[in-house]
Structure 1
Amino acid sequence: MTEHVIYSVEGESQALKEAVASAQATFKFFWRELSWEARRIVKCLDMAAVKMSFVLDPDNPDIPAVENMWVTDIDFDGQTITGVLLNEPRWATEFKASDPVSLPFAALNDWMFVRDGRVYGGFTVDALRSSMAADERAEHDAAWGLDFGEPGSIELAPAADGQAPWLLTRALSTTADLQMLAALECTDHPMAVNMREKVEEGLRQYPEMISDYDDRGWLLLHREVLAGNYPVVHALLRHGADPRAANSQGQSAQALAAEAGWPRIAELLQCDMAQGGEPVASKGLPLWPIGLSLVALALAWLYYLIVVPLRAVWAGRGAEVASTWDFVGAILLLSVGVASCTGPWYIRLRLRTPQWGASRALDVGAITGAVVFAWVLHDQLLRYVSGSY
């Protein structure tokens, strides 16, 4: 997203080309807004859509090289934009309205969302409106039924109450534009600010949110980094999220932050890695006392399984050895206790191992090792007690 490859039409005006480049450069703010819209119980946006460039048959001289069409129900993975075609194609006859589509980010032509009738984004729309006469522009706006603002300026995101709107020129070419973009990158979304305490509470209550991958192979950290949600990323890191963990596309959170163009988040991730990512101290019951209790219980069980029979043999009495499954249970209980005592360190090491289905390689290896060890231990004790040596 930081490098812009643009699908353009031969003869397209410079104003439209600049508009497409600006839309790609600011798409991250659109995606941040959509990330919060998805969490709202009561939706705030009247519409959210992107305009994508569909490459047409280059051998047909009767049609343009690309057809630009609006797509809604947007999803984005940092590389590909998917959604549903909003309008009926004119030349791309293999598609029809409401068809699911998927295109690379480079095919993005424009983005726009509408809140309370006011348009945010719409760079190419502004380029077209700016070329219209006043009466033609009024007719265009009436047909849409939307407030596009003054031609020549773009509003990127809703401003907070009492704050001046985030207005930029279409080409993003002025010093004021660059300053405005830098300020907007460092300004947290209002919902991120308002939900900070709930996010912290949720991570304490459901720590599995930090380390569990979704069905697409992404951690919550990857999603929040891509969306530019600094407060949520900060909370995840404080609770032990691993910035080095890769998603299903092989991208770390650091790589996603750089690609998406969130320098403040990239710096935060870099600092976390440099400092070793000290996890936040839990305000609830710490896990290590539970872990120590499990270790003590497991050791007492193993004493009964191993030492008691050995002492009987050494005293010249007969002894029986418990079943293999008793040994497996005791060793697994000991393993869980040790993992609970180590807490965040185990989780960090776990996240650095490959994902195997719904499990991690470290989990599978630890369980397999514990079972094998318990089996061998039981076998050796049984041989000794029965006098097989």
Structure 2
Amino acid sequence: MTEHIIYSVEGESDELKAAVIGAQATFKFFWRELSWESRRIIKSLDMAAVKMSFAVDDNDPQGPSFENMWVSDIEFDGQSISGVLMNEPRWVTSLKASDAVSLPLAALNDWMYVRDGRVYGGFTVDALREGMSADARDEHDRAWGLDFGEPGTIEVVPAAEGQAPWLLSRNLDSAADRQTLATLEHAEHPMALNMREKVEEGLQEHPHVIRDYDPDGWLLLHREVLAGNYSVVHALLRHGADPLALNAYGQTSVSLASEAGWPRITRLLEGHETDDQVPDKTGGFALWPIGFALVALALGWLYYLVVYPLRSAWAGHSVEVARPWDFVGAIMLLGYGLVSCTGPWYFRWRMRTPQCGGARLLDLLTMLGGFLLAVLLHDQVQRYVIGR
């Protein structure tokens, strides 16, 4: 999604070609909005459509190679955009209005959605409007019946009530544009914030949705990563979703987030970021004091299991070594204590390992390592005591 392959129509200006690049770079915001629109009982958008470049199947050397047409009822799988053709084609003779179509993402020419009469996106439309006279522009806007804003500026997401609009230049080529885009990439969709508790409740009541693939071979985690829904992704991970599971295209959620252009989600999936704003229903207290207490208890237990019999053997006294399971219990208790003390580091590495059933690979390796260490320690202590 980060590579821009531009299908140009003969005669397109440099301004229109630059507008296409801007539309492709910001398409993820369009798809995030549509991901939430599909959840709304009462729809919020007046219209949502993309403009795609269709190859012309006519051999007329005087005709264009591509025809740009609008498509509605959008579906997106990270590779292709599907929908229903809105225009009656002029050059593409194999299609007609209302036909179902599907094209690769690289064929995207523009996107636009409308809320309360206000246009978001519309990069190529803005380029055309800026080249019009004031009278022609007014006539154009009246014909559409929409508020396109000032020519030369684009909004890609609605601003919060009472907040100034997030304005971008059409070419996205200024430092202010880059800063605004970075801010928007890290910001949550308002519905994601409002539905946090419902998402948590839904995952608790229906845990199968975390691990079950849909008919297209995608996990819910893949869908939410593609849409850039950070808090939903975070909730899925907390409930055991596997960031290294593959979708139908062989992509992990980590690679999908990187390709889609959601850096904050990429860091979350890689274990480099946590979300302190996710509701905590436990009432909340620090875990590290409990961890230190467990470590102290485990060390005392190990002293009794290891040092006490060794000292007794050195003194020439008869001593009986504890059972292997006592050693296993002490080592496991020490492990739980260390994880509780250094949880953030452990869990960052944990999320980067594959999921095996209901556990992470790192959990299984840690438990196996602890078990083997306990058995080895028991055998060494017993061998020394017997040898004395």
Match of 1:46 in 2: 46
Partner secondary structure for residue 201 of structure 2: helix
Tell me if structure 2 keeps the 8 A contact 1:204–1:282: no
Match of 1:80 in 2: 80
Q: Distance in 1 between matches of 2:92 and 2:10?
A: 17
User: How much does 1:59 deviate?
Assistant: 3.6
Tell me if structure 1 keeps the 8 A contact 2:58–2:92: no
User: How much does 1:57 deviate?
Assistant: 3.5
User: How much does 1:281 deviate?
Assistant: 10
Q: Distance in 1 between matches of 2:358 and 2:177?
A: 40
Q: Distance in 2 between matches of 1:206 and 1:128?
A: 49
Match of 1:239 in 2: 239
User: How much does 1:150 deviate?
Assistant: 0.5
Q: Distance in 1 between matches of 2:60 and 2:269?
A: 49
User: How much does 1:110 deviate?
Assistant: 0.1
Match of 2:355 among 348, 361, 370: 348
User: How much does 1:58 deviate?
Assistant: 6.8
Partner secondary structure for residue 110 of structure 1: strand
CA RMSD of aligned residues (A): 2.2
Match of 1:270 in 2: 270
Match of 1:111 in 2: 111
Partner secondary structure for residue 197 of structure 1: helix
Tell me if structure 2 keeps the 8 A contact 1:111–1:122: yes
Match of 1:259 in 2: 259
User: How much does 1:216 deviate?
Assistant: 0.4
2:201 aligned with 1:201: yes
Residue deviations 1:320-352 (CA, integer Å, cap 9, x gap):
xxxxxxxxxxxxxxxxxxxxxxxx99x931499
Q: Distance in 2 between matches of 1:68 and 1:188?
A: 32
Match of 2:152 in 1: 152
Partner secondary structure for residue 11 of structure 2: coil
Tell me if structure 2 keeps the 8 A contact 1:127–1:152: yes
2:211 aligned with 1:211: yes
Tell me if structure 2 keeps the 8 A contact 1:81–1:104: yes
Q: Distance in 1 between matches of 2:5 and 2:198?
A: 39
User: How much does 1:10 deviate?
Assistant: 3.0
Please show how residues 1-389 of structure 1 align to structure 2 within 5 Å: 1-57=1-57, 59-271=59-271, 348-350=355-357
Q: Distance in 1 between matches of 2:102 and 2:79?
A: 10
TM-score, L = length of structure 1: 0.71
Q: Distance in 2 between matches of 1:118 and 1:60?
A: 40
Tell me if structure 2 keeps the 8 A contact 1:72–1:83: yes
Q: Distance in 2 between matches of 1:224 and 1:166?
A: 24
Poorly superposed stretches of 4+, deviation over 2 Å: 280-283
Q: Distance in 2 between matches of 1:125 and 1:164?
A: 23
Q: Tell me the amino acid that sits aligned with residue 356 of structure 2.
A: L
User: How much does 1:62 deviate?
Assistant: 2.5
Q: Distance in 2 between matches of 1:160 and 1:269?
A: 28
Q: Tell me the amino acid that sits aligned with residue 190 of structure 1.
A: P
Residue deviations 1:64-113 (CA, integer Å, cap 9, x gap):
11100000000000010000001111111110110000000000000000
Unaligned 5+ runs, structure 1: 284-343, 353-389
User: How much does 1:63 deviate?
Assistant: 1.3
Residue deviations 1:306-331 (CA, integer Å, cap 9, x gap):
xxxxxxxxxxxxxxxxxxxxxxxxxx
Tell me if structure 2 keeps the 8 A contact 1:119–1:147: yes
Partner secondary structure for residue 51 of structure 2: strand
Residue deviations 1:138-188 (CA, integer Å, cap 9, x gap):
000011010000000001111111211111000000110000000000110
Count how many residue pairs are aligned between Structure 1 and Structure 2: 286
Q: Distance in 2 between matches of 1:351 and 1:9?
A: 53
Partner secondary structure for residue 45 of structure 1: coil
TM-score, L = length of structure 2: 0.71
Partner secondary structure for residue 271 of structure 1: coil
Q: Distance in 2 between matches of 1:58 and 1:11?
A: 18
Tell me if structure 2 keeps the 8 A contact 1:22–1:170: yes
Q: Distance in 1 between matches of 2:71 and 2:174?
A: 30
Q: Tell me the amino acid that sits aligned with residue 155 of structure 1.
A: E
Partner secondary structure for residue 126 of structure 1: helix
User: How much does 1:282 deviate?
Assistant: 9.9
Tell me if structure 2 keeps the 8 A contact 1:51–1:71: yes
Tell me if structure 2 keeps the 8 A contact 1:243–1:252: yes
Q: Distance in 1 between matches of 2:258 and 2:204?
A: 28
Q: Distance in 1 between matches of 2:268 and 2:169?
A: 30
Q: Tell me the amino acid that sits aligned with residue 348 of structure 1.
A: Q
Tell me if structure 1 keeps the 8 A contact 2:58–2:91: no
Q: Distance in 1 between matches of 2:152 and 2:220?
A: 38
Q: Tell me the amino acid that sits aligned with residue 271 of structure 2.
A: C
Sequence identity (%): 69
